[in-house]
Amino acid sequence: MRNLPLKEPSVLTVKGLRRILLVSGGVSARIFRMLNDVAIEAIETGVERITDEALERYKPVGEDEATFQ
């Protein structure tokens, strides 16, 4: 996650990584979209890192992503 413009390092646990796989279905494009959306939230809220909690709150938008929930 070095390429995301966050001030703090994002260290994810196995729980967070499982959440990414569950929501994305393992599809790379969906993983990148999820991480980008969560990174934007981290910047907007001032947290400046991706957390397991943010990944748990993430809800995909759009028909394609929602069907994989």
Give the pLDDT of residue 25: 95
Tokens 């028909």 belong to: 63
**Residue-level length of the chain:** 69
Among residues 46, 24, 22, which one has the least CA distance to residue 35? 24
Higher per-residue pLDDT: 1 or 12? 12
Tokens 């907007």 belong to: 44
CA dist list (Å): 26 to 15, 44, 45, 69: 15, 27, 27, 12
CA 45 to chain centre: 15
Q: Whole-model pTM above 0.85? A: no
